[in-house]
Homo-oligomer: A and B are copies of this chain.
Amino acid sequence: MPKVEDEASNKQLIFRDYVTGLPKESEMYVTTSTIKLKVPEGFHGVLVKNLYLSCDPFMPIRMSRVTVNGFSSYTPGAPLTGYGVAKVLDSRHPDYKAGDFVWGITGWEEYSLITPTEGLKSIEQGLKKIQHTDVPLSYYTGLLGMPGLTAYAGFYELCSPKKGEYVFVSAASGAVGQLVGQFAKLLGCYVVGSAGSKEKVDLLKNKLGYDDAFNYKVEHDLDAALKRYFPEGIDIYFDNVGGKTLDAVLLNMRVHGRIAVCGTISQYNVHQSEAVQNLACLLFKRIHMVGFAVLDHHHLYPKFIETVLPYIKEGKIVYVEDMVEGLERGPAALVGLFSGRNVGKQVVVVARE
């Protein structure tokens, strides 16, 4: 019989029902259940205490009924799942022990029982043990997690960047963008970013090392804006938004330019994607345009960590997080991602380590 003291109350953020388009806050609600803080016998899993949860642009896709683009739907009535940082409280898996910090796919709740059967082929694919705990652990939702690896793989592997090249990044202060800009600067590129507020533009110029930045919301003619910031044209475009920005960028790309398509966040809240008019530029300028997802680049993670950790410790790479405290504030944080309310990587703090 389990002892009563093994049980804890477990606040959970429940996904109410399938949605069409972007979710509203009302489509999630907080409930409290109880959970035994032990892995049940016969389960080869781990029981974790969740610390930091990541708000990611792919999550609303999982709220739709249709399984699209390889994302399975969430289960109505169950907690959301997503990337997070957690502490192992109990383990029946040989690779993890109580006290370990892990990052990977977990539940939007205080405690999660994570087993190999929970939509993951194996725990190892979903949960990574955190080897370096001398940095803020929340970084494993961003700088040292999927967004970081996305920036690293997308920029270094797909954009073939060279010193002195002209680099443009959209959603430049976001979880991925802020890092792409810093990678580009470290390599000796000229980097300009776009973002959606004066505050973000200031951040890009004054904290994140961008050479220049502009607020796309006050630019009525994006083509003209790009011509102003890139009179010589753009060699590399790291695209986090798609739509009109991509269209204007195509007109300003240089011959043999490269476009890494990392996100189309501008298109998530429109039923019919904005059309792109200027695709013929791909031909005339012999442009490489590559859609990519970090899941194809997991093998680079060790190399990425080895590259980035020293930069963090030397202060050569910084990272801006937008932390909200408490699961209750999760829905607003997640929904806010799509109106650009967050400044930097959006994290929900469930508990501090």
Query: Are A242 and B280 closer than 8 Å at their CB atoms?
Result: yes
**Interface flag for A127 (CB, 8 Å):** no
Among the stretches A111-119, A188-196, A284-292, A326-334, the one at the interface with B is A284-292
Cβ-closest chain B residue relative to A280: B264
Q: Which residues of B contact A278 (CB under 8 A)?
A: 273
* Copies of this subunit: 2
**Interface flag for A283 (CB, 8 Å):** yes
Assembly CA distance A327 to B282 (angstroms): 34
Query: Are A290 and B289 closer than 8 Å at their CB atoms?
Result: yes
- Give the number of residues in A that approach B within 8 Å (Cβ atoms): 34
**Interface flag for A272 (CB, 8 Å):** yes
Query: Are A279 and B277 closer than 8 Å at their CB atoms?
Result: no
Assembly CA distance A193 to B164 (angstroms): 42
| Nearest CB in chain B: distance from A176 CB, A | 13
| Residues 67-108 of A at the B interface (beta carbon under 8 Å) | 68-70
Q: Which residues of B contact A242 (CB under 8 A)?
A: 279-280, 283
**Interface flag for A233 (CB, 8 Å):** no
Query: Are A291 and B296 closer than 8 Å at their CB atoms?
Result: no
Assembly CA distance A287 to B263 (angstroms): 13
Which positions in A face B, CB cutoff 8 Å? Answer: 68-70, 242, 246, 255-256, 261-264, 267, 272-273, 275-293, 296
- 4 further interface pairs, Cβ-Cβ under 8 Å (given A261-B282, A273-B280): A263-B283, A283-B292, A287-B291, A288-B290
